[in-house]
Amino acid sequence: MLKRKKTKGKKRPIAVTVIGAAIVVLFIVRLYQVFKPLYDMGLFQLGMVGRQFYTSQGLTGMGWAIIDSASYFILAIGLVIVLIGFLRMRRWSWVMLMTWVGISMVVGLVDYFYVGQPNYVIMASDVVIAFALSQVEVQRIFGIRTDISELLS
């Protein structure tokens, strides 16, 4: 039987583990957000039979709930993909995650200043991820920041 070789060379710093944990937290929050609108509309209690999703006036409450749920589902799947890339220390996952966190924080801040009810758990996770991603050590591991000495060697 063939044994999988362990990845050598790159040592995973603590910040990467912290970011991984924060992504898991975000994933759980998003998963909750996938089911909540459907639960609120009574989908699990009453089932889908006989439900209308669209009328001549536009989407019904159930239709909006499914769209909300689907978008959160896509976000959750995206997080899983980023998490896998991140744990394998791929450059694209760092860029994607930083961009994601940036957009998420813009949404969170607009929510805070204009609606008044941001999701503080997501905000906190975003802050932790942003600071952890900006660590020099993490940036170096993902090939974002390169030292002159590294370039010369």
Partner 1 sequence: MNSSLDRPTAPVGTPDIDLLRQFEPVVRFTKGEQFFPTDVDRYVAECSLWAHYPDGREEIVVKQGELTLDKLVQQRPAVFGTVRFLRFIETLTLSEAAIALTEQAQLRRKLGNYFKVGMGRLARGGFLPRLADALFSLSFLLRGKVSSATAAAAELAFNRMHAEDEKYVYYGRVVRQNGWTVLQYWYFYCYNSWRSGFHGVNDHESDWEMVNLYLYEDEGELVPEWAAYASHDFHGDDLRRRWDDLQELDFVDGHPVIYAGAGSHASYFRPGEYQAEVTLPLPSWVNGITRAMNKFWTEVLDQPAGNPFRIPFVDFARGDGMKVGQGEKHAWSPELIDESTLWVSQYRGLWGLFARDPISGENAPAGPMYNRDGSPRGSWYDPLGFAGLDKVPPPFQALGYLQKSCDEVAARQTELDNLIPKKAGDLQELGIKLKGMEGNPHLAKQYAMLEKKSNALADEVKNLRRENSENTALLQGLTQRLERMKAGMQDDPRAHVRHLAVPVLAARVRFGRAAETWAAISLSLMLFAIAALVFFAPSFIWAGLVIIMILFVLAESILRGAFVETMTRITLLLALVSAFILFIHFWDIIVVGGLIALGVFLMWQRLRELTG
Binding site for partner 1 (CB under 8 A): 95, 98-99, 101-102, 105-106, 108-110, 112-114, 120, 123-124, 126-127, 130-131, 133-136, 144
Q: Which is nearer to partner 1, 12 or 91 (CB)?
A: 91
Which CB atom, from 35 or from 112, has the smaller least distance to partner 1? 112
The size of the chain, in residues, is: 153
Shortest CB 149 distance to partner 1, Å? 16
The answer to whether the CB of 142 falls within 8 A of the CB of 94 is yes
Closer of 51 and 145 to partner 1 (Cβ): 145
CB within 8 A of 49, min separation 6: which ones?
none
Helices (H), 1-153: 14-40, 43-46, 61-87, 91-110, 120-133, 136-141, 148-152
CB atoms inside a 10 Å sphere around CB 129 = 26
Q: Give which of 72, 1, 63, 88 is closest to 34, Cα–Cα.
A: 72
Rounded to a whole number of angstroms, the minimum distance from the CB of residue 4 to partner 1 is: 32
Beta carbon of residue 124, minimum distance to partner 1 (angstroms, whole number): 6
Q: Please, what is the minimum distance in Å from the beta carbon of residue 60 to partner 1?
A: 27
Q: How far is the CB of 72 from partner 1 (least distance, A)?
A: 21
Choice between 54 and 120, CB closer to partner 1: 120
Cβ nearer to partner 1, comparing 60 with 135:
135
Q: Give which of 89, 66, 67, 86 is closest to 26, Cα–Cα.
A: 86
